[in-house]
Structure 1
Amino acid sequence: MLRVTLEQWRMFRSVVQFGGFNQASQGIHKSQSSIHNAVGKIESSLDVKLFEIEGRKTVLTQAGELMLKRANFLLDEAAKLEIVGHTLGQGTEGSLKIAVDEMFPQARLYKVLDTVSAQYPMLQIELVESVLSGASELIENADVDIAISPVALTEGFSEQLCQIDFIAVANPDHTLHSLGRDLTAEDLKSHRQIVVRDSGMHRKSDAGWLGANQRWTVSHLRTSIDMICSGLGFAWLPLTSIKNELAQGKLKTLPLQHNSKRSMQLHLIFKDGDSLGPAARAFLAELRYQCEELQ
Structure 2
Amino acid sequence: MKVAPALSLDQMQVLLTVVDTGSFAAAGRKLGRATSAISYAIDTLENQLGLDLFDRETRRRPTLSQAGQAVVIEARAVVQGADMLRARVKALVEGLEAEVTIAVDQIMPQYRLAETLGAFHQEFPAVPLRIRMEALGGVERLVRSGETQIGIGGALHMNTEGLTVTQIDGVRIIPVAGADHPLAREGFNTAARDHLQIVVADSVEADQRACVIISSATWRVSDLTSAHALLVAGTGWGVMPEPMVREDIAAGRLVHLDVPDFREGHYPLQIAHKVNTPPGPAGHWLIERLTGDFGQEATIS
Shared fold per TM-score greater than 0.5: yes
Question: Which residue does 1:17 correspond to in 2?
Answer: none
Paired residue secondary structure (1:242): helix
Q: Is 2:201 the counterpart of 1:197?
A: yes
Give the drift of 1:211: 2.7
Q: Verify the 8 A CA contact 1:152 1:158 in the aligned structure 2.
A: no
Q: Which deviates the most, 270-279 or 152-161?
A: 270-279
1:131 aligned residue (131, 135, 139): 135
Give the drift of 1:106: 0.7
Q: Is 2:295 the counterpart of 1:289?
A: no
Are the structure 2 counterparts of residues 110 and 232 from structure 1 closer, same or farther at C-alpha, using a change threshold of 3 Å? same
Q: Is 2:99 the counterpart of 1:95?
A: yes
- Cα shift readout 1:24-55 (whole Å, capped 9, x = no counterpart): xxxxxxxxxxxxxxxxxxxxxxxxxxxxxxxx
- Cα shift readout 1:175-216 (whole Å, capped 9, x = no counterpart): 112223x222xx1122111011214469884221x1323211
2:183 aligned residue (158, 176, 188): 176
Are the structure 2 counterparts of residues 203 and 146 from structure 1 closer, same or farther at C-alpha, using a change threshold of 3 Å? farther
Q: Is 2:172 the counterpart of 1:165?
A: yes
Question: Which residue does 1:217 correspond to in 2?
Answer: 220
Question: Which residue does 2:69 correspond to in 1?
Answer: none
Paired residue secondary structure (1:97): strand
Q: Is 2:141 the counterpart of 1:155?
A: no
Question: Which residue does 1:227 correspond to in 2?
Answer: 230
Q: Is 2:140 the counterpart of 1:145?
A: no
Distance (whole Å) between structure 1 residues aligned to residue 249 and residue 140 of structure 2? 31
Distance (whole Å) between structure 2 residues aligned to residue 213 and residue 99 of structure 1? 31
Equivalent residue letter for 1:113: L
Paired residue secondary structure (2:210): coil
- Cα shift readout 1:77-106 (whole Å, capped 9, x = no counterpart): xxxxxxxxxx99761112111001111111
Paired residue secondary structure (2:219): strand
Distance (whole Å) between structure 1 residues aligned to residue 264 and residue 220 of structure 2? 21
Q: Is 2:229 the counterpart of 1:206?
A: no
Paired residue secondary structure (1:159): strand
CA RMSD of superposed structures (Å) = 2.4
Distance (whole Å) between structure 2 residues aligned to residue 281 and residue 130 of structure 1? 21
- Cα shift readout 1:145-203 (whole Å, capped 9, x = no counterpart): 000111142112012112222110001111112223x222xx11221110112144698
Q: Verify the 8 A CA contact 1:168 1:260 in the aligned structure 2.
A: no
Q: Is 2:192 the counterpart of 1:188?
A: yes
Distance (whole Å) between structure 2 residues aligned to residue 119 and residue 260 of structure 1? 41
- Cα shift readout 1:104-129 (whole Å, capped 9, x = no counterpart): 11111111111101111121111111
Distance (whole Å) between structure 2 residues aligned to residue 138 and residue 292 of structure 1? 24
Please list every run of 5 or more consecutive structure 1 residues that lacks an aligned counterpart in the other structure: 1-86
Paired residue secondary structure (2:192): helix
